[in-house]
């Protein structure tokens, strides 16, 4: 499986970081997880491009995870593509329906299929996926793709999610702020390290980075490593991982 971080930023602009988006590719199958602002442009910098992405899986409905969803639909329509599947937690259909109501000229331009999922096993675009409910200010799901890859979505760090991620080769986790920021709904590095201590994860990537983290990535990684005995790295836009 190839995993490309398209966007590793947050709701506040951070220079070279787009908002959240991750591209998964495996044996001809492709899936976009989240579609925040800037992700469409990042997709255009990949081999599949936006033309090659017909399925989107949303973790939740905050703007920095869905802002490029309709721009993706429009770009695919203009490129002659005829289909788009959008999958996400409860409320996804209402979200997309409401967006189409506002931008009604896009209604019917592509075959738009919407499906809602929950904290259980399901499949999208040929990928077998397990969902897990996270702790955020709005309903949000973490996703695990077998033993290869997992993504936390937006969430506080907690033991149940660490157990869900245990044994995966690569896990990308929200780590929005450094330790001296008092925050809820997102973890600091020490909170993340405490929650994931003792888990067997091949590599842990920190993502969903607010501007507050700029210049402090090394100390954030060190803080996680004080508690979590594993490989910890900071995710960057357009970094591609090959997971065997």
Which residues participate in catalysis according to the annotation?
Answer: 64
Is residue 105 classed as helix, strand or coil in its secondary structure? helix
Please tell me the distance from the alpha carbon of residue 184 to that of residue 113, in angstroms, as a whole number: 34
As a 3-state breakdown, the chain gives helix, strand, coil percent values, each rounded to 5, of 25, 30, 45
CA of 234: how far to CAs of 31, 40, 113, 146, in Å?
22, 22, 34, 22
Q: Within its chain, how far is the Cα of 32 from the centroid?
A: 8
What φ, ψ does residue 50 adopt, rounded to 5°?
-70, -25
Look-up: residue for tokens 């402090």? 216
In this structure, what token pair is assigned to residue 163? 């157990």
């Amino acid at each position: 499986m190839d995993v490309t971080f398209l966007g590793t930023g947050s709701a506040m602009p951070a220079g070279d970081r787009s908002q959240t988006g991750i591209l998964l590719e495996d044996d001809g199958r492709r899936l976009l997880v989240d579609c925040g602002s800037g992700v469409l442009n990042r997709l255009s910098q990949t081999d599949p491009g936006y033309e090659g992405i017909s399925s989107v899986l949303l973790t939740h409905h905050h703007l920095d995870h869905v802002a490029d969803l309709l721009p993706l639909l429009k770009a695919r329509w203009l490129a002659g593509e005829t289909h788009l599947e959008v999958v996400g937690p409860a409320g996804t259909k209402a979200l997309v329906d409401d967006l189409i109501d506002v931008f009604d000229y896009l209604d019917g331009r592509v075959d738009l299929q919407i499906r809602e999922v929950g904290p259980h096993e399901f499949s999208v675009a040929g990928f077998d996926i397990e969902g897990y409910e996270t702790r955020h200010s709005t309903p949000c799901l973490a996703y695990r793709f077998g033993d290869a890859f997992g993504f936390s979505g937006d969430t506080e760090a907690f033991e149940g999610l660490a157990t869900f991620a245990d044994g995966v080769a690569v896990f990308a986790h929200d780590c929005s702020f450094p330790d001296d920021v008092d925050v809820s709904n997102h973890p600091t590095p020490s909170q993340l390290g405490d929650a994931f201590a003792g888990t067997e994860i091949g590599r842990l990537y920190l993502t969903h980075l607010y501007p507050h983290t700029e210049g402090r990535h090394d100390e954030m990684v060190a803080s996680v490593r004080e508690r979590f005995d594993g490989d910890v790295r900071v995710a960057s836009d357009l970094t591609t991982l090959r997971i065997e």
